[in-house]
Amino acid sequence: MTGQQQIYPVLWSFRRCPYAMRARLAIAAGRSRVWLREILLRDKPDAFIAASPKATVPVLVLPDGAVIEESRDIMIWALQNSDPQGWLSVWQNDQPFCTRFLDHLDGPFKQHLDHYKYASRFAAEVGEESRRMGAEFLAEIDQKLAAGSGFLSGAGFGLLDAATLPFVRQFRGVDANWFDRRDWPALHHWLGMFLASEHFAAVMHKYPPWHVGDSALLFPA
């Protein structure tokens, strides 16, 4: 990597991973610039593993060599650098609430999502129970959206929305017909707006997997 390229951090990413997706959303919203290195989860580059032995995306390597390994921390880093759309205001106004919400999203809900999505790896009742438990959390989100502005982050789209929607999208993808029949009008509207938004389109371009010697790819383009 040349000295010119080193002025930007390197983001190791996988397009469909919801954790990587939300990191890209925050980076794009903050108008930060990074060198994007798309990987295949089944063929992880040695350079990626060397940067972060945990070997899960996303990983952000800063120009000074510091490594940020959690998507939530990458989002905060990007928005603290620049936040022209005010995405971070909900975090600044009530960090304890945001932390509790994200802990549940990234913990119990993600576990239910994984058991539901990969139900064939478990007993049938595990997948059914995981869908039920995940649906309970989604129903709570629907109620929050309906009782407020239609967003989780306050008056408009922000940190909590960007952090959550990639996982809601993934939950729907397991069985879209079942999902779309749920009585979650506010949540369906929220997800639909996101999927049709420039935010989503901007972070879902398809890029070839990175290999040593490839030309640097700047994100956002």
Residues 124-162: tens digit of each pLDDT: 788 999 999 999 999 999 999 999 999 999 999 999 999
Place of tokens 């306050």: 154
Q: Specify the CATH number for 5-83+203-219; select among 3.40.30.10, 3.40.462.20, 3.40.50.620, 3.40.309.10.
A: 3.40.30.10
Q: pLDDT digit string (tens) for 183-221?
A: 999 999 999 999 999 999 999 999 999 999 999 899 998
Helix axes 71-81, 159-174, angle to 10 degrees: 140
Fold of 89-200: Glutathione S-transferase Yfyf (Class Pi); Chain A, domain 2 (1.20.1050)
Domain boundaries, the chain: 5-83+203-219, 89-200
Please, which pLDDT band fits residue 3 given cuts at 50, 70 and 90? very low
